[in-house]
Chain A
Amino acid sequence: MDRDSASWLREAAKFYLMYLAVGAAFAPFGLVYGLLALKGWNHPLAGLVLLAGGFLTARFVWERVHRRLFVRPARVIQGVPASASRAVPDPVRQGGVTTCARLGENGWAMPHVVDHGHSRVLGSTVDGLR
Chain B
Amino acid sequence: MPWSDWIDFDTLKTISWHTSGVVGGILSFIVIGYIIDWGIGAGPVKGVLESIEGFALVGLVLWLVYQTGHLLWIRRVKNGSRLCVLVA
Contact = CB atoms under 8 A, between A and B. Distances in A.
Give the interface size bracket for B toward A. Answer: 20 to 34
Nearest to B52: A30
B55 A19 contact: no
A37 B46 CA distance: 12
A24 B63 contact: no
Interface of A is mostly: helix
A109 interface: no
A110 interface: no
Interface in A5-42: 8, 11-12, 14-20, 22-27, 29-31, 33-35, 37-38
B17 interface: yes
A88 B13 CA distance: 30
Given A15-B20, A16-B20, A51 B51 contact: no
A91 interface: no
A26 B59 contact: yes
B59 A58 contact: yes
10 contacts: A8-B13, A8-B16, A23-B60, A29-B55, A30-B51, A30-B55, A34-B47, A37-B51, A50-B55, A130-B10
